Structure 1
């Protein structure tokens, strides 16, 4: 057991340094002076170099070889599963490549933000070329002759393959498109919210909603950023949101989405802190938490009734005539440009677009210079409207600037997992609607924490969902939920 003890002590220090790197990223998005971008890129590259050397330290291989797995309990064996996977991946990557990716993506993030603000694609393309080149190199090193995209996807959803995801997307697309067409042909046309909603009021409700959904403020905070995100693990889990005074739902539901991520990290068994089990097991499972908080719970008729009342109390008006009109506005289906603001029917079509384009980029079948045209053509075909400005098109997401190729499909995997979890949650918590009508989601969070969140990385992604739900995850529950919800809302 000495080898296991030494390995875990070494791993704890590595995990702590990784959290420091994460906080540098959080600071870059929220507090860092704009003029510090070049220095921060060097700092990120330096700490990534340190992390890479630790993750490839030959002693890890020696410790792993010396450990008798049979002498460990389930937790110990799960720790080794993660460490072996990480070690195998890290030792395939040259340290210089890891550090260069960290430096370039840190710099690219700032350039992307400038390009998005100025609707200037040309300003972003040179650094995006560098990012894509480096990610192709990374994929080639990791794939060891296999599929390049699968090698990157495995970093976010271990065990998933692009072929399996593409097949699932093909099964989903027909039902989603059919539902959208029926909705677009419906006689009911819900209106959006009208009015102006002050930033202070939006943030006040966001804090209140986060509390009701179980976010622990002793170990977290809420800030503003260009693109909402969650950072950290254990006792320091931070979330961000964004504000538009003409569109309060963007702030409120971005907050709820990130609360789902944050509650997951805060809900993990404290005994796993600063170990491989001490964070979410995959991005798909992580997205299941953000999406079920945001959609099945946050956009439910019951919760929208409570939110309508709070909007009236805080702003004097909610932008809708009554609670039913407010619920319809929250769930209005329209072909909008922005993924993070998309309704539940269109959202997965946004993901499918990005999935297909980034697979082509990594494979070399699509070059960066042709990306905007490919995006605009695909968007017009899928959504029936032309992209008006780059900020509403190829520049809208931060992911490619920071090198997160393989991340996008986990959003739809998260939706699929959330659909399964919602079936089990409704059966387990019969008071769910009554709770949400009072603005309280603590019973739902308690069930999710007990059945999923507390496990962290103990089980493989699909296994933790199956354990919580009692059946293997598949897209059927999500599609059934969408059909039932929007058929009722639109009178289909």
Structure 2
């Protein structure tokens, strides 16, 4: 076998083991007995120890050296680009630190869930301090004297920097704030009236997931505290949550996660267990979940189809027809929860987290002061006080999992989705007619062809640029879309 064949065989086996580790994490959030937390932490630490040893195996360096300057095709060169990046990263992190982080974040997840249920940040703070200390140590190792936060960010969005994102987010904020202020001064639409049976919500969620192309034979839909997607290839699982008074929480959480999941299901099968066999970045991943959820799922055309399905499942929901339903789906209102935020305000929730976590990583903000800093910033940004920790600093799972650098990819994903939606409208001129019939194939097929199938073949911004006819990704299409959509809904 050639050096390339040997390397890829080793990488595929490592990728398969990584999927096993991901299944442990899925089980922890969905199925694991409550009392199994300490044992699971040791299991996940053991898996991370094995994976770290493989990721730093000196044979990888030898194979890469043998292949340097060789005549390889586009796919092989892309594989090597990812492998070099991963190998260089893994070798900078000591094995005992990688293992300690896996153990700490597993225990931290349970502590976060319990503290969230009890609305007690003080109970979670000591565990979070340990995670933050370990992440700062890891970031320092990865940055090699450079910007620690940029090193963390590169795990989720290769090539992006905090300075670049700050500039983009700075351009977003004024128009978002102006739109929010204008909308909130207008009369608000009537919400649907419940209660909405949980099992009926889940049946409709399954129908909607299939409508958006999620292949249930290669996935499953369960409930969890925080909806998420996990896996790749032939085993991609999603979760949602239900609320008796808010069926949109379940339905749109499901559509969002289906966007993530179908991305993974539609990557070229030959890439499986390799670096090309998963989404290229969290920003690109989020572009798929957000365009599914918002530009498609919350469109006037699709909500006409969804309104009919809602009345089939729940009977009278207290709304006078599909136009009232469309307005209710896109209701802009004050709220604490990022995942439940409307399109106008969602990114303002992300910008808050982006700034706070940069301060945490730099040491400018310590964990013991995080709750107060969150509450102060929230009041400044949104104009009202946080009522309880589960609606504030404890609402998201990310920091308990050590995912510093992840939050800004949500807004970057929205920006990418705005660009893709503009290109999709040009490519599929009868899109609204298809959506009104509940036919998502033209839209999701275009996304599969232009984004999803490539997995990690191209760099993140290149994926979006190629899909958009060579245009450089910009915040302008997103802002134009939001202003046009909500200007029409609220008669601005």
- After TM superposition, the score normalised by the length of structure 1 is 0.99
Cα RMSD, aligned residues only? 0.8
Correspondence 1:40-189 to 2 at 5 A? 40-186=40-186, 188-189=187-188
| 1:424-453 deviation per Cα after TM superposition (whole angstroms, max 9, x unaligned) | 111111221111111221211110000110
- 1:254 corresponds to 2:269: no
| 1:263-283 deviation per Cα after TM superposition (whole angstroms, max 9, x unaligned) | 000010001011110000000
Q: CA deviation at 1:69?
A: 4.2
Contact 1:308 1:318 in 2 (8 A): no
Change (3 A) 1:148 1:68: closer
Q: CA deviation at 1:107?
A: 0.6
Paired with 1:123 and 1:236, the residues of 2 have a C-alpha distance of 36
The residue aligned with 1:376 is 375
- 1:283 corresponds to 2:307: no
Paired with 2:310 and 2:453, the residues of 1 have a C-alpha distance of 33
Paired with 1:79 and 1:318, the residues of 2 have a C-alpha distance of 51
Paired with 1:415 and 1:456, the residues of 2 have a C-alpha distance of 19
Aligned pairs, number: 491
SS of 1:195's partner is coil
Paired with 2:43 and 2:373, the residues of 1 have a C-alpha distance of 35
Paired with 1:189 and 1:258, the residues of 2 have a C-alpha distance of 28
The residue aligned with 2:208 is 209
The residue aligned with 1:359 is 358
The residue aligned with 2:229 is 230
The residue aligned with 1:336 is 335
Moved more, 166-175 or 318-327: 318-327
SS of 1:193's partner is coil
Paired with 1:439 and 1:431, the residues of 2 have a C-alpha distance of 13
SS of 1:209's partner is helix
| 1:71-112 deviation per Cα after TM superposition (whole angstroms, max 9, x unaligned) | 210000000000000000000000000010000000100110
Paired with 1:183 and 1:3, the residues of 2 have a C-alpha distance of 60
The residue aligned with 2:349 is 350
| 1:340-365 deviation per Cα after TM superposition (whole angstroms, max 9, x unaligned) | 00000100000000000000000000
Task: For structure 2, list consecutive stretches of 5 or more residues without a partner in the other structure.
Answer: none
Q: CA deviation at 1:319?
A: 3.8
Paired with 2:257 and 2:220, the residues of 1 have a C-alpha distance of 11
Paired with 2:203 and 2:432, the residues of 1 have a C-alpha distance of 24
Paired with 1:348 and 1:70, the residues of 2 have a C-alpha distance of 44
| 1:251-305 deviation per Cα after TM superposition (whole angstroms, max 9, x unaligned) | 0000000000000000100010111100000000000000000000000011111
The residue aligned with 1:23 is 23
Q: CA deviation at 1:218?
A: 1.2
The residue aligned with 2:430 is 431
Q: CA deviation at 1:68?
A: 4.2
Correspondence 1:268-417 to 2 at 5 A? 268-417=267-416
| 1:390-427 deviation per Cα after TM superposition (whole angstroms, max 9, x unaligned) | 10000000000000000000000000000000011111
Paired with 1:462 and 1:262, the residues of 2 have a C-alpha distance of 20
Contact 1:287 1:410 in 2 (8 A): yes
Paired with 1:440 and 1:397, the residues of 2 have a C-alpha distance of 33
The residue aligned with 2:199 is 200
Correspondence 1:469-488 to 2 at 5 A? 469-470=468-469, 471-488=471-488
Moved more, 326-335 or 139-148: 326-335
SS of 2:92's partner is coil
Q: CA deviation at 1:64?
A: 0.2
Q: CA deviation at 1:70?
A: 3.5
Q: CA deviation at 1:182?
A: 1.0
SS of 1:223's partner is strand
Contact 1:318 1:326 in 2 (8 A): no
Contact 1:41 1:106 in 2 (8 A): yes
Contact 1:301 1:327 in 2 (8 A): yes
The residue aligned with 2:421 is 422
Paired with 1:139 and 1:198, the residues of 2 have a C-alpha distance of 46
Paired with 1:118 and 1:320, the residues of 2 have a C-alpha distance of 36
